[in-house]
Amino acid sequence: MKVINLDDWVTIRHRYANEKISKRELAKQLGVSRGTVDRALAAKAAPKYERRPAGSSFDAFEKDVRRLLVVTPRMPATVLAERVGWTGAASLFRAKVAAIRPEYAPADPADRLVHEPGKVVQCDLWFPHQPLPLGHGQEGKPPVLVMTSAYSGFVQARMIPSRTTEDLLGGMWELIQEADAVPARLLWDNETGIGRGKLTEAASAFAGVLGTEIKLLPPRDPESKGMVERMNGFFRRGFMPGRDFIDPHDFNDQLYAWLPRANARYTRTRGGTPADIVIEDRAAMRPLGPIAPEAVFRKEIRLPRDYYVRVHSNDYSVDPSAIGRLVQVTADLDTVTVTAGATVLARHERRWAKHQIFTDPAHVSRAAELRRDYRTSMARKPPGQEAVQERDLSIYDQAFGLSTPSDDLELAGAAQ
């Protein structure tokens, strides 16, 4: 049956309804059959051209592909192509498999999330797409901790030295202090420094002191953290282009200057700017408690003779007066501090470069004084005081039955 042309369909229906002309006469004037007029008037929708399927080279393999998908719905298209012997275009095969895979793969529905004030802050790490100077001739892409309030969309961010647990907690603590409020929940993906399947002990203690919950999302669940994921793309498009950085501190300075403009953007879904809505958001959060959480690198070591301590691959000098004593080493995002009890033995700016040695000239001077004092004291000792009595080691051979008769005679003579 011939498909009615859209123009003919419109003309037939218009003239029949407005000119009160018979179907026979209308067919004669338009040069179409009476049946065409009848079909045009009986149709409930405009005619649409549909091309008859011409078939595809995939058709011969479809049955085998479906058989494999019944057993393994998530089998990659590349593996399916190998199993069924496909030799055609990979893009065609992937498109055909993508069209039929939903018939076999289990559904994974995502509920619509409704965010309430003060409840959730989404956390993630973003890495700049271009390296920046770290000092001492080194370059790198340190992580940027991003925290986005789910209700207001307000964004906070700070570049941190590493992805270690202490630096992640230190970054969160700085941003929480900046907000002066604690949300009910901090959402994290499976970041190793926070926990995989289970929180690290340090992260659990951090949440307990603040009275919040750090929630680890299950794998392959991007919808639950999509807001902060979109912000990562916003940083790449809105912040990074056309910028140069001297060092990570310069990066953070420029980022802090840019964030107020980012939080001033109007969003239609919220009906306002994040900077305005965050007031209501933080009013529903808990205030900061009287106790600060533990969010620093900390260790205790006995200071060696070279009077240096190692923190995140770098060595920092310490007052050599404490050589041989137990010292406490702490490092936050900005400073490395070494103490012995209440006495501060060293304080250095934390460096972002790796495998470097950082020396305080005062410590070198103090070490030179201590060496002179030591040599002077050794020179004043009586000559005989340094003599050390040596024992004949051959007596151990005799004790274990390893000595010869001649050796025994010599030992006897020596004893007399």
Can you give the pLDDT at residue 27?
85
What percent of the chain has pLDDT above 90?
62
Integer-rounded Cα Rg, in Å, for the chain is: 39
Q: Is the pLDDT of residue 286 over 50?
A: yes
In angstroms, the CA 36 to CA 17 distance is: 16
Predicted confidence band at 156 (pLDDT cuts at 50, 70, 90)?
very high
How do strand 326-331 and strand 297-302 relate by DSSP bridges? antiparallel
Choose between 294 and 46: higher pLDDT: 294
In angstroms, the CA 403 to CA 395 distance is: 8
Q: Which of 55-59, 293-297, 350-354, 358-362 has the lowest mean pLDDT?
A: 55-59
Q: Classify each residue of 192-218 as buried b or exposed e, where b means 16 or more C-beta atoms within 10 Å of its C-beta.
A: ebbbeeebbebbeebbeebebebbbee
Q: Is the pLDDT of residue 400 over 70?
A: no
Can you give the pLDDT at residue 416?
44
How do strand 213-216 and strand 185-188 relate by DSSP bridges? parallel
Choose between 209 and 388: higher pLDDT: 209
Predicted confidence band at 334 (pLDDT cuts at 50, 70, 90)?
very high
In angstroms, the CA 110 to CA 224 distance is: 9
Average pLDDT, rounded, for the chain: 87
pLDDT in tens, 371-384: 998 888 887 766 65
What percent of the chain has pLDDT above 70?
87
pLDDT in tens, 158-168: 999 999 999 99
Predicted confidence band at 35 (pLDDT cuts at 50, 70, 90)?
confident
Predicted confidence band at 415 (pLDDT cuts at 50, 70, 90)?
very low
